[in-house]
A and B are shown apart, each in its own frame.
Chain A
Amino acid sequence: MSELSAIQKNMLKEIAGYEEIPEGAYNLRSNGALAGRRTTANIDIQTKTDKPGIDIIIKPGTKNERVDIPVILTETGLDDLVYNDFYIGEGADVLIVAGCGIHNAGGLKSEHDGIHAFHVGKNAKVKYVENHYGEGEGTGEKILNPTTEVEIDEGGYMEMETSQIRGVDSTYRKTKAKLGDRAILVIREKILTHGHQKATTDFLVDLDGVDSGAHVISRSVATEDSYQKYISCVNGNNRCNGHTECDAILMDNGQVDAVPMVNAHTTEARLIHEAAIGKIAGEQLDKLMTLGLTEKEAEEEIVNGFLR
């Protein structure tokens, strides 16, 4: 792998919390091209031949391994589209860390659209962490439109932790999932928008399998003149448990629309939806101010805790 620039290192730090890629399998994509790859005995990464993107193949039974697949865009005016397919073998237990950082110093729009498909094998367990981050002094827009499609086989488990804190001008995040018998999906999403940013997140979960379960938990903060939309649709097609929660804080002129849908297609489905949208509670600010914080500091403390 070629030496990373300071900007690239900073992007890595923002999206993955490190400057050097840790041990294990990885694939680094920079400005639309492959910039480094490592495979292991259990984890193979192959470049797709029919379209841009990679296949990540994790052998059945692989335990305690991780794959990192960061994407960095530092050139202005780049429009990057990739298809990544993850095959997680039966009984495997792995961590996948993805993320996209855009540093747009120019006046043109930079866009990365990642289309991720997860095939989670029988009894496999996967944790997927994805951070999105944008920066740059340029006026060019930073756009990220990730699509995630998940299929979980019998007894499989997937946990998705996604976050987009600041810097992304426009995002349309689509997540679709189909769950088999006893499969479980947990999604935790965090979004903070500011300026004139727009973010839409759209979940569609089909609980097809008997005793399948999904928990979709979204926490968002819309500040300044930004706008967010939360759409979730959970279909209970079998004996199952579905739970969605949309919790949003509004600040300044921020706006949030929530469109929750829970559809029970059998009497055995148990579906719950919770939504709470509003300003920071006055008593929370008051309490922190009695401890000596200014109103501004108290707000920051509350937002940081909320999005932690």
Chain B
Amino acid sequence: MLELKNVTFAVQTEFGEKKIIDNISLKIDEKFVAFTGPNGGGKSTLAKLIMGLYKPTSGKIYFDGTDITEMSITDRSKLGIGYAFQAPVKFKGITVRDLISIASGKKLNVTEICSYLSQVGLCAREYVDREVNNELSGGELKRIEIATAMAKSPKLTLFDEPEAGIDLWSFNNLISVFEKLEEQTNGSILIISHQERILNMAQRVIVITSGKVSQDGPKDEILPGLLSANVCKTLADNM
């Protein structure tokens, strides 16, 4: 479904060129894949490269066999790629109803919009005509972002730390929402997460460290190591 071939993304800094993504090659056909790894490792950057928000410095990206490396965000979206941002974008005047309608590609009635919102634990009717702006709390924005990605129902959805800022009760619901999504979708779900319970749902876990794939394999092989030794090692390294 998705293939990255020698993808590098470099930026110019005052200290010279910095490779944020460093020659990553990956092939993903699984239904549920999780990306994890230390802060600043390059996970969000990788997601933005896949969605087309950034263009790679070198390398190729293929989706269902098509070379999408030079494709616009819009065209990738139309091909069936979706991305729920780590930091949701705020607008002035655009409402929750607008966003979810745009995502689903048709005018939705209140009941349909509510069904997406209640999945993410938002008491729907109150939110339909709220503006997606600063007046919403961080957690509310995050849930609307997830509901929007679901309304789009793409073949490949990237969720960037969907659990961040979401309270415990809703977190449990979020897990079941992703379980349901996994059952229903005939595409792939790629989740970037630091949460054990989310990583646990994945078939495959990929660890991104300093712009490279440092570990990659079935959940049962990767998770135990991550949860014990690596955490201590990272902590020790930082000391």
Contact = CB atoms under 8 A, between A and B. Distances in A.
Contacts of A283: 89
B116 to A, nearest CB: 13
B105 A292 contact: yes
A291 B72 contact: no
A286 interface: yes
Interface residues of A, number: 22
Interface in A59-105: none
Nearest to B76: A290
Interface in B34-48: none
A249 B74 CA distance: 23
A292 B152 contact: yes
B169 interface: no
Interface residues of B, number: 24
A18 interface: no
Interface in A263-308: 281, 283-284, 286-295, 301-302, 304-308
B99 A284 contact: no
B102 A293 contact: yes
Contact of A291 (B91, B92, B95, B99): B99
Contacts of B131: 305
A287 B144 CA distance: 13
Nearest to A289: B73
Contacts of A304: 93
A193 to B, nearest CB: 18
B53 interface: yes
Interface in B49-84: 51, 53, 72-74, 77-78, 82-83
Given A284-B89, A292-B102, A305 B95 contact: yes
A305 B82 CA distance: 23
B51 A290 contact: yes
A295 B74 contact: yes
B102 A288 contact: yes
A161 interface: no
Q: Counting chain A CB atoms within 10 Å of each CB, which of B73, B89, B95, B148 scores highest?
A: B73
Contacts of A293: 74, 102
A293 B77 CA distance: 8
Contact of B78 (A292, A295, A301): A292
Contact of A305 (B78, B83, B91, B103): B91
A302 B99 CA distance: 11
Given A289-B77, A301-B102, 9 more contacts: A247-B92, A284-B91, A286-B73, A290-B82, A291-B82, A291-B103, A293-B74, A302-B94, A306-B93
Shortest 4 CB-CB contacts between residues of A and residues of B: A305-B93, A305-B94, A289-B73, A287-B89
Interface of A: 219, 247, 281, 283-284, 286-295, 301-302, 304-308
Interface of B: 51, 53, 72-74, 77-78, 82-83, 85, 89, 91-95, 98-99, 102-103, 105, 131, 148, 152
